[in-house]
Structure 1
């Protein structure tokens, strides 16, 4: 779960992208595939490519590349802060070139502390925001003619920076955030549960990155469970959600893209920010994990998300009437049919919400069943987990191989409390955010459980639909604790004959565990507040 070095972008072909960037500068395309060589020719015929340095905050020099047109007419510009990778701005070499061919001036740069940029990473803090504004200044000073409109686009780490720059710089007219975050606090901890696998990934994903000591300290604090107040304050300053009203006040058009089973930046916090945006907005939600849906577009392969990002800027920066206004605010890729469903809003319109009560017989039914108890021993691994490996599990999903739990129906009931509903005669369309209310008794102060909602097949195997953790850190021993939580949002088709299955485990290696080893959590359902799971049905 926590390798010594871990890429957030495992499919990133650094060699091919570096070769493309070199060919843009030299014009020598012999090492490129014919399609990429043709793109280099088109770029060099339309614009001037050059490498350079942007003077960022505190005088640190940031490695950058510019695509500039020589004509004196007005044109839009795009600023592209790079993702969390040692490669830096060449990750965008192909996509920035495509913007340039369409008439945009572009600057792509490596954020401070990464690749050939100086300084230390502020982890999307004030220094990074200032750097983004300086990158825009750098491009504007070198534009041959007037600038009509300004966009900021980023992937992963660059997406967080892009949104923050757009919120702080009134010159920005549109933003595209691909696999970014809305609330960094929820990235670090969800329902009082520290997301330790995600923090380990950030610390190890870019081995040559130079993090500032304050950034390192906050991430270390999350792993060590200390200084929660400092962490919250630090994360709030770096959360686009904090500045969402400014984006709304200026009605900045915002395009987002995200994956359902995102293990680094969970989808729920992004969708909550999306709901609060009041200007033009759109979100593409796809099968996969962090940056996976966009990955094939980086080297130039056909890619729906990148196509939609270009269309978004064409509409709001070039003022093209390309149909974007008539499309819904939400485009969902459904698990596992891969069907694309447009929706006018998030959450999508639901036919009804089905409430299934947890019972003493292990069934999910339509009637409450108070008074039972189901004990779970802490510290025991189960076959059902959030993911095999952060980020990489989602690439298996992209390839059409979602993780299958072959023995889910026979799971050890001392390590998991399990409930199943009756099989459905027709396809069950889950669309939205499932909710869980459950009461449990913890023998010790400090407790954690993880709720897994699964698709149980007739052969006893299961696949994960969605999940959420929950921790209580303050109740005294032997307290009754009420957990009322949202699971991560989903768009999932449960086939006929399959059953919803809820598994509550006291341990998942993806999260920190506040339980004492061999302690017991006893789940129950008091008569005044019965335990249930609610499923939003499309």
Structure 2
């Protein structure tokens, strides 16, 4: 019997569209949410209390926040008419009276929970005098439409949401801010680039160059794409979105994906942000597995207006997560101070604290710096030697062979997103460096540090290798190794070459992900290169070998940024 036809956008079609993800073994270990430790039920109860005024069952702090907000503002659920007439689910906090007032619009993260993730923080903003609208982005939860991944419809939705709030604000509007976490952060930057009414942005766990986030050094971020698909299992993806994600996983149409990503990258629209000198606050995690730090740094360093970058231990959305449920959180404190300064003209000192605040691994010291480039005071070059040492002088003529298709204990992390929560809790992944098979991976070790080595900035690796096939991939890891052989990851980066002729020498110059890491006295730095990591797709043929070397004319080396 032939099943009935399903119209696009119908619940049956949506269920069918996403059913394939559930049976895909590649998605079996991906999280169902990018916020695994968030209590959505508690946030829903908070919203119910905002509507009714009944705070029974709420913790005392949340009950007090509800009472304070209700004494100065009115909360309502609402529907925003977005682009193409699609209705977007939203919550709105409005003050009565005719006083001039700033506004904040908050597009939701990549989650089936929608705008309620902002409920507590939006309430705190309202209590401080802002009119606020938080909305669920198209295709998620109770919002209509299909997920376009920060496409033109999403940008238009942001402006429509602002229109909706302005039309319902009783007094004159002074200044306007957009704030988003994760998915909502990218949309916030793009709306600010296209809508001249937006006067400041807060972008938490964001992206700057979406193409680089999907294809870092031409290497497919397959685990990140699977995690995004897993977190969007209940969403309604547009055919183009589904096709792009499928193409990344299947290694198809790279150029088409990069064209799609370019339009959705704030880096593409940086001139619009700079022309109006829009103040932007970024918050990011050092070990971000969805949107690696360097691609956000590209946008930060290109911005010419007021800007601030807060870098923390952890992974995607982890550093700011506790603030979403109302617990004290320095990321959200900075967000409030940023908007208070740039939207309410309050001189709270944030403009004088430096552009960069970095949390050092693993002592959690917060270090302010006037600019990103001021983190690095000097660069120390160590050369890759045939003896397996990171040496002070170059050495030519050696070969170190890496066997493709075999994973090693050197990996990016155990899980996307979730491993970052362990880091925040002081339990970073321990790497048994002694069990790394030197016939599968190439390994170089430094001398034990005579004093604490303060890595600050972007380590850079130059390496030459011979690949027998036209495509090749390797992953470089920098580990901090204790005298007992246990290690912690400092940083890493993948690299893929798709254009060289078979059996040719390939020269790779790559930036490892930026870091602020203190290597203790007596510890060694360990550089590990292997050809397989489940976080990435690779271009290698199984059982092929990559032969690393150091030509006399172009020696292989590791540049360490020191602060």
State the TM-score bracket (shorter-chain normalisation).
over 0.9
Aligned to 1:176: 202
What is residue 331 of structure 1 aligned with on the other side? 357
Report the equivalent of 2:536.
511
Matching residue of 1:409: 434
SS in 2 for 1:425: coil
Q: Deviations over 1:415-448 (max 9, x none)?
A: 1100001011110000000000000001112110
Unaligned runs of 5+ in 2: 1-25
| Structure 1 residue 5, shift from structure 2 partner | 4.9
Q: Which of 266, 277, 282 is equivalent to 1:251?
A: 277
Contact 1:72 1:146 in 2 (8 A): yes
In structure 1, distance between residues paired with 2:98 and 2:375: 48
Alpha-carbon distance between aligned partners in 1 of 2:321 and 2:304, rounded to the nearest angstrom:
29
Question: 1:4 offset after TM fit, Å?
Answer: 5.6
Rounded to whole Å, the distance in 2 between the matches of 1:370 and 1:229 is 37
Instruction: Give yes or no for the alignment of 1:90 onto 2:116.
Output: yes
Aligned partners of 1:300, 1:329: CA distance in 2, in Å?
26
1:523 paired with 2:555, answer no
1:240 aligns with 2:266: yes
On the 8 A contact 1:409/1:456 being kept in 2, the answer is no
The answer to whether residue 506 in structure 2 is matched with residue 481 in structure 1 is: yes
Q: 1:382 to 1:455 in 2, by over 3 A?
A: same
Cα distance per residue 1:165-216 (max 9 Å; x no partner)? 1111000000000001000001111011000000101111132111101011
Q: Tell me by how many angstroms 1:348 deviates.
A: 2.8
For 1:446, the equivalent position in structure 2 comes to 471
Alignment of 1:142-153 (within 5 A): 142-153=168-179
Deviations 1:137-166 (A, max 9, x none): 000000010100000000000001111111
RMSD of aligned C-alpha atoms?
0.9
Matched-pair contact (CA < 8 Å) for 2:30–2:227: no
Is the counterpart of residue 28 in structure 1 residue 28 in structure 2? no
Specify every segment of 5 or more residues in structure 1 that has no aligned partner in the other structure, as ranges: none
Structure 1 residue matching 2:373: 3-state secondary structure: coil
Equivalent residue for 2:229? Answer: 203
Report the equivalent of 1:431: 456
Contact kept, 8 Å, 1:63 with 1:109, in 2: the verdict is: yes
Contact 2:280/2:307, CA 8 A, preserved across alignment: yes
Tell me the number of residue pairs that the alignment of Structure 1 and Structure 2 aligns.
537
Candidates 189, 196, 200, aligned match of 2:215? 189
Partner of 2:374: 348
The answer as to 2:144 corresponding to 1:118 is yes
In the alignment, the residues of structure 1 paired with residue 435 and residue 249 of structure 2 have an alpha-carbon distance, to the nearest angstrom, of 33
Alpha-carbon distance, 1:31 to partner? 2.0
- Corresponding residue number in structure 1 for 2:303: 277
SS of residue matched to 1:296: helix
- Structure 2 residue matching 1:317: 3-state secondary structure: helix
- The 8 Å contact of residues 5 and 207 in structure 1, kept in 2 or not, is answered as no
Mapped partners of 1:319, 1:421: distance in 2: 50
- For the pair 1:471 / 2:499, whether they are aligned, the reply is no
In structure 2, the residue matched to 1:268 is 294
Give the Cα separation in 1 of the matches to 2:376 and 2:114: 42
Q: Aligned equivalents of 1:202 and 1:101: distance in 2?
A: 34
- How many Å apart are 1:240 and its aligned residue? 0.6
What corresponds to 2:132 in structure 1?
106
TM-score between both structures, scaled by the size of structure 1: 0.99
Inter-partner Cα distance in structure 2 for 1:4 and 1:302 = 29
Aligned residues of 1:181 and 1:239 also touching (Cα < 8 A): yes
